[in-house]
Chains A and B, each alone.
Chain A
Amino acid sequence: MELTGAEIFVNSLKDEGVKHIFGYPGGAVLHIYDALYQQKDVEHILCRHEQGAAHAADGYARSSGKPGVVLVTSGPGATNAVTGIATAYMDSIPMVCFTGQVPTSLIGNDAFQEVDSVGITRPCVKHNFLVKDVRDLAATIKKAFYIATTGRPGPVVVDIPKDVTAQKCEYSYPKKMTMRSYNPVVKGHPGQIKRAVKLMLSAKRPMIYTGGGVILDNASKQLTDLTKKLGYPITNTLMGLGAYPATDKQFLGMLGMHGTYQANMAMHQCDVLIAIGARFDDRVTGNIEKFCPTAKIVHIDIDPASIAKNVKVDIPIVGSVGAVLKEMISVIKDGKATPDKTALKEWWKQIEEWRSMDCLKYDRDSEIIKPQFVLEKLYEVTKGDAFVTSDVGQHQMFTAQFYQFDKPRRWINSGGLGTMGFGLPAAMGAQMANPGETVVCVTGEGSIQMNIQELSTCKQYNLPIKVINLNNRYLGMVRQWQEFFYQNRYAMSYMEALPDFSKLAESYGHVGMKIEKPSDVEGALKEAMKMKDRFVFMDFITDQKENVYPMIPAGAGLNEMILI
C-alpha cells in the first residue's frame, strides 16, 4: 500500500524505535503533524520555543543514551533550533532534527518562511540532508539515525519540503544501513594497545584524564575496572564527570580552568598521561605551550581528527573507548608487568599533599547563602543520585565542583558551546526519559530567563523538575572576570528588573519558594524533594560577590592556579 510522505515519516520513527519527539508545529510540517495526530506510538512533546525543543531532545539523549529527536517547521523554526543543534554538535550528542521546508517548487524563491536550512546548519551538524523525493525519505531517515548514533555521535538534520510529505510511495524501512563513505572504526589497533600498556605500566607518575567520550560510549565500567586495576589517579573533564565515581579516593576531581588544585598539579607533573575520550579543549589545557611538559601521552579516541589536534601525542589509538579499554585490561591481565608500586606510593604522597590544600574551601559561616553551600546540601538531600542539568556560568562550575557524580549520564550540561538557556529544557528531556527519577536543574537568574517560557511545557506534561535558581542578581561569571581583569567595571553584568521567580512559577501553576537564609536551605530542599509530583522552583538569594575558585587565568599553565 502506498503511504504519504508524512505517514512514511511517522512509520519510520516507529520502526526506528522512537518513543518521544520534541517540537513545534508550523506551516511546512502540517502534514506531518496531522499524521502524528492519528497515531499513538510516537509521543510528541510540545515545547514553547524551538530552541527549547532542541535542548530537550538533547537532555533526553544525554540522560538515556538514545538519540534525541526534534521536529520543527521551516524558516524561523529551523533557525531557532540552530543553537540547540550547535550545542549538541559541540558535545557530540546523538540527535536527529527534522526541519520542514517550503515545497520543492518554491525552494530558492525567497518563499514565506523559507531559509536554506541545510546551508545554515552545515557547520554545526555531523551531516545533513535535503529530501527531494518521497521515495528517498525512509532510507534518508535510516541514514540520519545511523550517522547520528555511530562513531563519534552528533546531530543530523533532515530537511523535508512540504510537497514531499504529501507525495505517496510504497513504504519500506531499511533494516540495516551501510555506506561506502562512512565506516567508523570500533576496535583499536592491537599493536598500539600493547605499546600503550607497556608505557602505562612503566610510569612513575601516571595520570588518567577522561572526557565525555567515556560516557557517550557507555564505558564507565571498563574505565573503573582499568583505573582500579592500575591504582592510578584519575581526573574527569567537565563533560566526563560521572564516568568514574567521584567519591572514590583515586578520583582527584575535575581538571581545567576551574578544576581542583590536585588534578591540575598532577596533570602538570605526570610522566605518563592517559587521555581517554577527551579532546584537550582550551579550558582543560590552559596555555598549550606549558601543558604537561614532562609527559608521554597516550590518547584513545574514536575520532582520528581529535588526536594530535591541539597536543602532540606519543601513542594514538583510534577506536571506541569501551572496546579499547577492554582490550587493554586483557593485555594487562595476560602480561607479567605490573605498576611500579614504590614510585606510585611516592606519587600518591605528593598528590595527597596537594589535596590537603582543600582548594574548594569557602566561608561556611557566612550569613548570606553561599552557592557552594546550596550545592553541598543538594548533594546530601538527593543522596547524590539525581539527574542534574545546569545552565552556563558560575553555578555550572559550582555544581561540577560540589555535586559528586558517582554514575554516568547524571550530569547534563553544555560544555562545549556553553549555551545559557540549556538547563531547563534539558531537564525536561531528562525527566521524559527517566520518569520517576529526581531531576534537578541548577541555574542562575541570568540563564533561566533565556528559556523561561518552558515553565509552561513543564506544566502541560506534569514534569516534576526541581529548579535550583542561584540568584545573585549578577551574570556571575561575567562579573567575576570584570572584577579580575577589568578593574571592577561591571559592564552590563547586573540583572536589574528581575521578576519574583517564585510568584512567576506559581502563575504557571507550579510551586514557588524563596530562600534567603543559610539556615533554611536544607529544610527547603527536603521539602521540595518530597513533592514528588510537583514542579518546584526554588529561588535562592545568594552572595553577590562569590567567585569560582580555584581558577587558571587565560594564558597560564595548569600549575599557575589562583587559589582563594
Chain B
Amino acid sequence: MENEAGALSRVAGLFSARGYNIESLTVAPTEDSSLSRMTIVTTGSEEIIEQITKQLNKLIDVVKLVELTDGEHIEREMLLIKVKAEDKVKEEITRLCEIFRGHIIDVSEKSYVIELSGDSEKLDAFIKSLEKMKIIEVVRSGVSGIARGSRSLEV
C-alpha cells in the first residue's frame, strides 16, 4: 500500500466497520520507501474472504493485494519472551531453546529474554513448553508472509 499517514487506520477501520475478524496485522515500509507491505491474517468463509479481498482492493491506498493461502507460501512470526530464570530451571530453559532453535538474547540475575521465530504454531508450542516456568512477558510480532518460488507481489 501507499506508505502514507492514515493508510493503516483505513484498513483497521474497514475490518471493524464490516465486522471482519482480524487475527494479526503487520506493516512496515518496503525497499521502495513510498510503499509499505502489510500482512493480514484473518478468518472467514469463502464468501467473506472474497468480500474482504474486494473491500481491501477498493481502498484507494491499497496498490496490490494477494491472497497467500491460495498458493504455497511461508509464514513467519517472531516472539520475544521474558521468563523468570531461577538457578534450578536455567538448564531446562536453555535446553528448550535449543530444541526450538531459539536464542537467549538477554540475561539478568533473575530472568532471560528469548527470541524465537517460526510459524505461529511453533511459537504456541514453545510458549506452552515454558508454562511450568514463570512467564513474565510475551511479545509477538504477528505474522509476515511471502510466497514460495518465483511468484511475487510486485507493483
Contact = CB atoms under 8 A, between A and B. Distances in A.
B55 A305 contact: yes
Given A118-B6, A130-B5, A305 B51 contact: yes
Contacts of A305: 51, 54-55, 57-58
Contact of A309 (B6, B51, B63): B51
Interface string A299-312: 00001110011000
Contacts of B119: none
A308 B63 CA distance: 23
A122 B60 contact: no
Interface string A113-134: 0000011001100110010000
Nearest to B155: A180
Contact of B10 (A122, A180, A182): A122
A180 B13 contact: no
Contact of A181 (B2, B50, B54): B2
A147 interface: yes
A181 B34 CA distance: 12
Interface string A164-199: 000000000000000111100000000000000000
A308 B6 CA distance: 29
Interface string B14-39: 00010000000000000000000000
B60 A126 contact: yes
Contacts of B50: 308
A130 B6 CA distance: 10
Contacts of A181: 1-2, 60-63
B116 to A, nearest CB: 36
B13 A127 contact: no
A147 B61 CA distance: 12
Contacts of A308: 47, 50-51
Main secondary structure of the interface of B (DSSP, over half): helix
Interface in B32-70: 47, 50-51, 54-55, 57-58, 60-63
B152 interface: no
B52 to A, nearest CB: 10
A133 to B, nearest CB: 12
Given A180-B63, A181-B1, A303 B13 contact: no
B13 A304 contact: no
Contacts of A122: 6, 9-10, 13
A304 B17 contact: no
Contacts of B51: 305, 308-309
Contact of B58 (A118, A123, A130, A303): A303
Contacts of A303: 58
Contacts of A118: 6
A185 to B, nearest CB: 11
A123 B60 contact: no
A303 B59 CA distance: 12
30 contacts: A118-B6, A122-B6, A122-B9, A122-B10, A122-B13, A123-B13, A123-B17, A126-B60, A127-B60, A130-B5, A130-B6, A147-B60, A179-B60, A180-B63, A181-B2, A181-B60, A181-B61, A181-B62, A181-B63, A304-B57, A304-B58, A305-B51, A305-B54, A305-B55, A305-B57, A305-B58, A308-B47, A308-B50, A308-B51, A309-B51
Shortest beta-carbon contacts, A-B, top 8:
A305-B54, A181-B63, A127-B60, A304-B54, A123-B17, A182-B60, A305-B58, A305-B55
Interface of B: 1-2, 5-6, 9-10, 13, 17, 47, 50-51, 54-55, 57-58, 60-63, 155
